[in-house]
Structure 1
Amino acid sequence: MSTEITKEFTFEAAHHLPSVGDAHKCSRTHGHLFRVEVTVGGEIDPIMGWIIDFADLAKAGKEVIGALDHRVLNNIPGLENPTSENLAKYLFDRLAVRIHGVTAVTVHESPTSKCTYRPGGQVARPTTVQIGVSGLSFAAAHILVFPNGEREPLHGHDYRVSVSAWIAGNGPDNAQEILRAATVDAIADLEHRVLIASKPAIGHVEVLQDVVKLVLPGDTVTLPRSDCTLIDTTSTATEALAALIAQRIADSAATTDLKVSEVSVSLLEGTQDLVKSTVKC
């Protein structure tokens, strides 16, 4: 299973493009609010349930991207011609030496214009068609437990779900509706629930008639059974949830009907932390 996480950053800077000619508006010095998405790919850690701590990605991103804030980009070595394309590669090269597994950097120069630098490009799928659904969401609470015995307090998020699937070119006309229904089914028991990993990194879970107990060294969290959904995993980190949803869709009858070869789930936790999980069917 392939998984990616993405974190978004912003900075404001001035620049001009020296090679476009005097008649082009971008030859004049001007400014933008740049949005930058940094994507990291890899295997989900079986204990932690994530690829990398979003906090570590945030620290590296602030160090590299923050250095461009309120600057004239042309004056920075390596950005003498600061197009979005060159800027995306510049950031990728500097982030990749700080964070293992960086797969792509996307620079949004405006609300409608963006550039993604991803070494290696994309694999073509000549015999399949991509379909997708978006606009789905669920609200849930969870507790993250760490191997050292520490835990986060019970807290919650809104999660926004987008799904892409690659299907046979001769699939049914209502393929998108079938995929949407499969996605709704996959997230149904996550909505307005406390999500509990049944195999936490430390301690154990007790399921009683009316309550669920998360028993940790020196600490026990007791929750109403009716509020909880138990997930057969070690963590309820966003990576684990995206992988769970992708696998549920891949295992559904809909994938057989649609002859799905690959399912990709993008799960946005809050407003900036995005995870993408892909399952081959």
Structure 2
Amino acid sequence: MKIAAGVYPPDQTPQLGDIPIRDARFHANGLAAHRAPGIAQSHSALRPPSRSEKAKHNSPIPEGHRLADQERPVTPQQPLTRIEISKDYLNFSAGHFTLFSATERENLHGHNFQVRCAVTAAVGTDGLAFDYVLLKRVLKNLCDQLDERVLLPQRSPHLCIEHRDGMVFALFADERIPFLERDVLPLPIRNVTIEELAALLLARLRERPELAGRDLRAIELGVSSGLGQWAFSSWESRI
């Protein structure tokens, strides 16, 4: 039975192997049209999808949403400021002697120590970082705790502190140095130096509840034992 090209009765649909190679593309489209009448088929329906088409198909986020994310405005970061507190009343007078080795130390003497502090914080929408009067009060209190005392290091490998009958004895090398207990303040440091005092005061400052909840990004605290002689200890937030 002779059949016009591309036209077959429904019960005699040809197989691809029965079609000459040169007419395979034409008949493949014709077979697709026969299986789905009324739906136009194009050559692109038979080619494999491109890499970009696969990416769009597999993406869990619709394309319109991805574009919206790209155009979303970025919230600017809050500006930071550095506030430095340096007041004459931030000082303490104390006696000490620096230890240089297991057998060498300074003679007992004293200094008028000075304290200063710088704080980095975010500036709020009201133009304020925080009420730094609180910082002044805390620093003054920390200075008062050390004022008019002989300072002794509790963590020195070369000195031991002994308490007996209202007296405190500093045991160093072959010396047993006596003090009235009311005049001595042992501190959890290795040596009474401005380096150690700066680190101690910074640690105590950070523990104060008055500063809890403040958005402080960095603190630098300095201690001076004389004009032009400072040691600084610093802390920085990891946020």
The two structures have a TM-score, normalised by structure 2, of 0.60
Q: Distance in 1 between matches of 2:170 and 2:128?
A: 45
The sequence identity of aligned pairs, in percent, is 21
Report what 2:81 is aligned to.
129
Shift in CA distance, 261/255, structure 1 to aligned 2, threshold 3 Å: farther
1:195 and 2:151 matched: yes
Partner of 2:73: none
- Aligned partner (choices 158, 163, 166) of residue 207 of structure 1: 163
What SS is found at the alignment partner of 1:258? coil
1:168 maps to which residue?
Answer: 122
Structure 1 or 2: more strand by fraction: 1
Q: CA deviation at 1:238?
A: 0.7
Q: Which residue of 2 aligns with 1:143?
A: 97
1:248 aligns with 2:198: no
- 1:36-115 superposed matches below 5 A: none
Unaligned runs of 5+ in 2: 1-76
- 1:239 lines up with 2:195 in the alignment: yes
Letter in 1 for 2:189: T
CA contact (8 A) 2:122 2:129 kept: no
Query: Aligned partner of 1:131: which letter?
Result: I
Q: Which residue number in structure 1 is paired with residue 226 of structure 2?
A: 270
RMSD of aligned residue pairs (Cα, Å): 2.1
Q: Which has the higher contact order (CA 8 A, sep 6+)?
A: 1
Q: Within 2, Cα distance between the matches of 1:174 and 1:129?
A: 11
For 2:154 and 2:218, locate their aligned partners in 1 and report how far apart those are by CA, in whole Å. Answer: 27
Is the contact made by 2:155 and 2:191 (CA closer than 8 Å) also made in structure 1? yes
| TM-score, reference length from structure 1 | 0.52
The reply on whether 1:155 has 2:133 as its aligned counterpart is no
Q: Tell me which residue corresponds to 1:228.
A: 184
Assess, with a 3 A threshold, how the Cα gap between structure 1 residues 228 and 172 changes in structure 2: closer, same or farther.
farther
- Using a 3 Å threshold, how does the CA distance of structure 1 residues 160 and 127 change in structure 2: closer, same or farther? same
Q: Is the 8 A contact 2:153 2:187 kept in 1?
A: yes
- Aligned pair count reads 157
Structure in which a larger fraction of residues adopt helix? 2
**Structure 1 segments (4+ residues) deviating >4 Å:** 171-174
Partner of 1:218: 174
Larger Rg: 2
The C-alpha deviation readout for 1:51-78, integer Å capped at 9, x for no partner, is xxxxxxxxxxxxxxxxxxxxxxxxxxxx
Q: Secondary structure at the match of 1:244?
A: helix
